[in-house]
Structure 1
Amino acid sequence: MGRIVHFGLGNFARAHLLDYTADAGGWDVVGVSLRSDKIRDGLRAQGFAYGLAVQGVGLKHIDILREVLVAPEDPSAVLAAMTRADIISASVTEKGYHLGADGLLDLSNSSIQADLSGTGPNTLIGFLAIHLSTRQTPLTVMSCDNRVENGSVLKAAVQSFAESAQIAINWALVSFPNAMVDRITPATTDELRTKHSDPMVVPTEAFREWVIEDNFKGPRPNWPDVQIVSDVAPHELRKLRMLNGAHSALAYAGLLHGHKFVHQAIADPDLRKLAVQLMSEAGAILPKNERVLVPAYSQALIERFENPELAHRLDQIAMDGSQKVPYRFAQTLRAGSAPSVATALDAWLEFCICETQAGRRLNDTRVDDIVQAARTSSPKTAILALINCADLVQFISE
């Protein structure tokens, strides 16, 4: 039986990678939590099985998780599990890569500094570099996060760490395929837990998509419906700029308008128009073979956003805007005229400023820097400079 060691067992991983792998059969998963024991304890109490509440389909039993390790409790146990993995995967969100505004590993980050000093490891990057320094068999390391060229970005971060730590790695043994992942997966509500008598139940939509670069060093599950392609970029750009871009636009503009959920925001005529136009602008600069898909894809996205049963919270989407905005909005704006994307960018800036003025702490890895910038005489200009997007000030008004 093949084995995947997966870092980050939030709802998305349990609705996406674990669901696909359960359908494939013949593989199991060991999970790793980099911070809290809450998910481990909840899943362990029910034998590491859980229900996947698929909207419009029903409850699906997922039972391929064999163990969940909590890294701060025993880093050596995590490293030992990694030696038995055929695939190591991760969905740790953008902030779990510890990148600077330039998209490269931030070697001054306190967590990275701790790993470099020999404390831990505590981060995905540190665990991978230390494990790969002793790896003697082929391995595929797979990012399942929403980042442009996520596999390449992860590899570059590990390489930077290894160079700084003076760790030798046999790079011929390991691959980092790029991938595009898609499945809207909101937070679990108490109502859903009660309905299914499952404290660890995960809600999700019926739609799912996974496109992976054909760059594996060893075996892989026979995942159903997964596209294995030579170039992920067209699929990735379509999803990140259209779906994620529209999601972020609805989140920031929707919260400013007093909405709480995606289905409420998309029902607002002004915000619906914003989302539709943003997807059109983003679609116009996609590779030619993807542009023909834009009208149908946009309509399908609107229908997914309208789904009230998902109850997808806008504040969940709004988290870590400093990590998301550069690739959801910036490249579309730099490519040409995109007034709706500019409006969305401005909504994020207004959201940051309004939350700061109201004394509400932003859920963002760069919250302290954003707060400081928001209190300057030109707050939008200062915030854009933080995320390496000073050139975009021309598209917004102070």
Structure 2
Amino acid sequence: MGLILHFGLGNFARAHLLDYTADAGGWEVIAVSLRSAAVRDGLAAQGFAYDLCVQGVGVKRIEVLRDVLVAPKDPGAVLAAMERADILSLTVTEKGYHLGAEDQLDLNDPAIAADLSGPAPATVIGFLARGLAKRRRPVTILSCDNRVANGATLRAAVARFAKVAGLEIAWDIVRFPNTMVDRITPTTTDAVRAISGDPMAVPTEAFREWVIEDDFASPRPDWPGVQLVADVAPHELRKLRMLNGAHSLLAYAGLARGYCFVHEAVRDPQLRALVTQLMTEAGATLPKEAQPQVPQYAEALLARFENPELAHRLDQIAMDGSQKVPYRFVATLRAARAPAVAAGLRAWVGFCISEAARGHPLNDPKAQQITEAARGDDPVTNLLRLVGAADLRSLIPE
């Protein structure tokens, strides 16, 4: 039986990679928690199985997970499992890559610096570098995070860490295919737990999508419905600029209007018109081969956003804005001066200034820098500089 070792066991991984792998059969997953033992303990109490509550379809029992390793408690066990696994996968969000300027690994990041100097790794970058240095048979590293060129970016970060740490990696037996993942997966609520009767249940929509660059060094599951392609870029740009960009616009502008959920915000006539315009503008920046699908894709996105059963919270989407804004708004504005996309960037700036003024703690890896920037003499320019967009200052009126 094949083995996937997956770093990061949030709701998305459990609704996406684990669901696909359960459908494929013949494979099992061991997960790694990079922080606490809470999820491990909850899942262990029920044999590592859990309910996937698929809106409009029903409850699906996922039984592909075999164990959860808690990295802070036993990093050695994680490294040992890395030697056995056929695929090393991860969903650690943008901040888990510890990137700095020009999307390169930030060697001054405290967590990365600690991994470079300490006896055992704590970050996924540190684990991958040290685990791959011991690897003697082919392996595929599969990023399932929402970012452009996720595989290539991850490879560059691991390579930089390895070089500084003096680790030798057999790069000819390692592959980092780029991927695009999609499935709206909200936070689990007490209502979901009560309906399913499973304290570890995960809510999700029926739609799911996974596009993977066909570049594997090791065996893989026969995932049903997964698209294996030569170039993921058109798919990932479509998702990031249209879906994720629209989500972030709804989050920041919707919170400012007092909404709590995506389905509430998208029913606001002004926000709906703005988000529809954003999709059109973003679609125009996509590669030519992707543009014929833009109108149909935009229509499908609006239908997904309108679904009240998902109860997708705006504050969940608003998290980690400093890591998301460069890819969801700034990159699009580099390709075209798009008014609705600029409105999304303005909404993020306004959100940061408002939260700082109220003294609300931000859920963002740059929370302190954002608060200081928002309280400075020129908060708009300060905030744009944090996301590498100071040159777009003219798009944000006073």
| Short-chain TM bin | over 0.9
Q: Secondary structure at the match of 2:61?
A: strand
Paired residue type of 2:236: E
Does the 8 A contact of 1:114 with 1:120 survive in 2? no
Paired residue type of 1:83: E
1:245-284 C-alpha deviation (Å, 9 max, x unpaired): 0000000000011000000000111111111000000001
Kindly indicate whether residue 334 of structure 2 is the aligned counterpart of residue 334 of structure 1. yes
Q: Post-superposition shift, 1:177? A: 0.2
Distance 2:341 2:175 in 1: 35
Q: Post-superposition shift, 1:242? A: 0.1
Does the 8 A contact of 1:101 with 1:386 survive in 2? no
Does the 8 A contact of 1:72 with 1:120 survive in 2? no
Kindly indicate whether residue 172 of structure 2 is the aligned counterpart of residue 172 of structure 1. yes
Q: Secondary structure at the match of 2:141?
A: strand
**Partner of residue 22, structure 2:** 22
Deviating beyond 2 angstroms after TM superposition, the runs of 4 or more aligned structure 1 residues are none
- What TM-score do you get using the length of structure 1 for normalisation? 0.99
Distance 1:367 1:232 in 2: 32
1:14-34 C-alpha deviation (Å, 9 max, x unpaired): 000000000000000000000
Distance 1:299 1:131 in 2: 44
Paired residue type of 2:195: K
Distance 1:174 1:336 in 2: 37
Q: Post-superposition shift, 1:102? A: 2.3
Q: Post-superposition shift, 1:174? A: 0.3
Distance 1:329 1:320 in 2: 14
Distance 1:134 1:118 in 2: 18
Structure 1: gaps of 5 or more residues: none
How is 1:255-294 mapped onto 2 (pairs within 5 angstroms)?
255-294=255-294
**Partner of residue 78, structure 1:** 78
1:81-128 C-alpha deviation (Å, 9 max, x unpaired): 111100000000011111114211110011101100024310000000
- What TM-score do you get using the length of structure 2 for normalisation? 0.99
How is 1:150-299 mapped onto 2 (pairs within 5 angstroms)?
150-299=150-299
Distance 1:285 1:387 in 2: 20
Distance 2:119 2:96 in 1: 17
Paired residue type of 1:107: L
Q: Secondary structure at the match of 1:67?
A: strand
Distance 1:102 1:316 in 2: 26
Worse-superposed segment, 355-364 or 333-342: 333-342
1:197-222 C-alpha deviation (Å, 9 max, x unpaired): 10000000000000000110010000
Q: Secondary structure at the match of 2:309?
A: helix
Paired residue type of 1:14: R
Distance 2:259 2:65 in 1: 36
Kindly indicate whether residue 83 of structure 2 is the aligned counterpart of residue 122 of structure 1. no
Distance 1:393 1:287 in 2: 27
Structure 2: gaps of 5 or more residues: none
Distance 2:336 2:184 in 1: 29
Does the 8 A contact of 1:251 with 1:317 survive in 2? yes
Q: Secondary structure at the match of 1:102?
A: helix
Distance 2:186 2:300 in 1: 18
**Partner of residue 90, structure 1:** 90
Paired residue type of 1:31: A
Q: CA RMSD in A?
A: 0.7
Q: Secondary structure at the match of 2:157?
A: helix
Does the 8 A contact of 1:95 with 1:365 survive in 2? yes
**Partner of residue 142, structure 1:** 142
Worse-superposed segment, 382-391 or 232-241: 382-391
Paired residue type of 1:356: A
**Partner of residue 68, structure 1:** 68
Q: Secondary structure at the match of 2:332?
A: helix
Q: Secondary structure at the match of 1:46?
A: coil
Q: Post-superposition shift, 1:337? A: 2.5
* Distance of aligned partners of 1:20 and 1:262 in 2 relative to their CA distance in 1, 3 Å threshold: same
Distance 1:269 1:230 in 2: 40
Worse-superposed segment, 176-185 or 377-386: 377-386
Kindly indicate whether residue 113 of structure 2 is the aligned counterpart of residue 113 of structure 1. yes
